[in-house]
Amino acid sequence: MKEQSRKVYMTAGYNTISLGTGRKEFNPRFERPGLEHYMKEAGQGVISQLGGAQNVDESVVGNFMAARFNKQAHLGAFMPMVDKGLRFKPSISVEGACASGGLALMTGIKSVLAGTADSVLCLGVEVQNTVKAIYGADILAGAGWFSKRKEGHAYFFPGQFSDRAGAYYTEVGREAARKGFARWFRNAIENARLCPTAQEHHNTVSDLEALALTEPNPRSFTENLNVFDCSKVSDGASGIAVMSDEGLQRAGIAYADAVEVVGWGHAVDDITEDPPQLTVLTTIREASRQALAAAGITIEQLATVELHDCFTIAGILSVEALGFAAHGEGAAFVAAGNTARDGKIPMNTTGGLIGWGHPTGGTGVHMAVTIWEQLTGKAGLNQIEIDPSRPYGMTINMGGDDKTVVAIIYKKAE
């Protein structure tokens, strides 16, 4: 990124419940809330903190596959439904697979930097418990090169990351890798139990690592990953406002209640090509490098990170891509407790994709809300201690199999 022409902030974050299997309210036999419900709840949750829709200049909706999951496109035009005060104001929807939420944030950031808006309402939403899992896997395969669909596993993306896990087993040893995966799962569920909106909030399993070590069954799923290695199918939405100094002042938001965006990276790789190395997330590595360089900081200055753990192996490989562990040492780093909420570098403090949930197009915005909560002291039971010598937070939102990545670095506004 080039040097920013003005300061950019985020504030007024809001999450709906991440609904799906595991939540007590979820029953697949009963009718459930639709897109309109989630967009309205998240949107109004942000607008109420801003003092009303008159303090919103533009809106952006991040969404991946509503056109197939819900037979609904044109989501930008739902914003006046969210609040009549948004009528006739600019609103668009953006898509980049699982990074759609991150792209919504980037769109808002660029509008503020361009001076076309001082306050952008960014939503991320997905409602995908509308089809059976096997059909959902086919829809989600659109995050990859669909021409490979016939060659891939029936559960396409779990199959893709199962291949990454298998390669990782070969490099570091299966037992050591599985221990790292199991600790990642345990951290995710323990953090989700503290977060009332998390999909795994009601999880009461006593020995989480033993559950996570359940042997993968290739007959029913994939060769190298079990269902506990995967994020769940989730319905939900998150919202946050991207603002300038003028926007904050207009809405009466104190700097203490906002975070400043101090760096970002946006990297994209060729969707038609296979990963150059299965055990390296090259696009995450590049996007995070861009963001850190733009912010002028090192990973040692990060207090907390929100990683895109669509699968446990993605979490482990992201730890390595960021540089917290050397290549092949990520599983051991995680197994030692370094990424737990009381560890060296707490990650995914509300549960991440595996614990909080993965409403695909909403995930990137949820990450930003979590960092905003942590850096401003609004995380409730999920709150971790932020060391003043390490005041930064980071989000990494990945689309597809490491093809589109948005990385953003934040610090508490002053």
Report how far residue 359's alpha carbon sits from residue 129's, in angstroms, rounded to the nearest whole number: 10
- The confidence score (pLDDT) of residue 1 equals 63
CATH of domain 133-231+263-412: 3.40.47.10
CB-based contact 46:239 (threshold 8 Å):
yes
For a pLDDT cut of 90, what percent of the chain falls above it? 93
pLDDT at 154 over 90: no
Confidence at residue 85, expressed as pLDDT on a 0 to 100 scale: 98
**pLDDT tens-digit series, residues 349-360:** 999 999 999 999
Q: pLDDT (tens digit, 9 = 90+) per residue, 98-108?
A: 999 999 999 99
Q: In the structure, what pLDDT confidence band is assigned to residue 2 with cuts at 50, 70 and 90?
A: low
More confident residue, 82 or 137: 82
β-pairing, 58-62 vs 91-94, is parallel
Res 151: pLDDT: 76
Report whether pLDDT(150) > 90. no
Q: In what order do the strands lie in the sheet with 236-243?
A: 91-94, 58-62, 119-126, 236-243, 9-15, 258-268, 404-412, 392-399, 302-306
pLDDT band at 134 (very low <50, low <70, confident <90, very high): confident
User: Mind listing the pLDDT tens digit for each residue in 391-410?
Assistant: 999 999 999 999 999 999 99
Mean pLDDT within 344-351: 98
pLDDT (average), residues 336-351? 98
Q: Which helix (H) or strand (E) holds 336?
A: none
Give 228-294 as a DSSP string. GGBPPP-BEEEEEEEE-HHHHHHHT--GGGEEEEEEEEEEE--TTS--SSTT--HHHHHHHHHHHHH
User: Tens digit of pLDDT for each residue in 30-82?
Assistant: 999 999 999 999 999 999 999 999 999 999 999 999 999 999 999 999 999 99
Q: Tell how far CA 350 is from the center of its chain.
A: 11
Q: What's the average model confidence in pLDDT over 313-341? A: 98
Quick one: DSSP state of residue 396? E
Q: Transcribe 166-208 into DSSP letters.
A: HHHHHHH-HHHHHHHHHHHHHHHHHHHTT-TT-TTTT---S-H
Q: What gap in Å lies between CA 343 and CA 113, rounded to an integer?
A: 36
Instruction: Spell out the domain ranges in the chain.
Output: 9-131+233-258, 133-231+263-412
Asked, colleague to colleague, whether 9-131+233-258 and 133-231+263-412 share their fold, the answer is yes
Mean pLDDT over each residue of the chain, to the nearest integer: 96
- Residue 153 pLDDT grade (very low, low, confident, very high; cuts 50, 70, 90): confident
Full-model pTM: 0.97
Q: Domain 9-131+233-258: which topology? A: Peroxisomal Thiolase; Chain A, domain 1 (3.40.47)
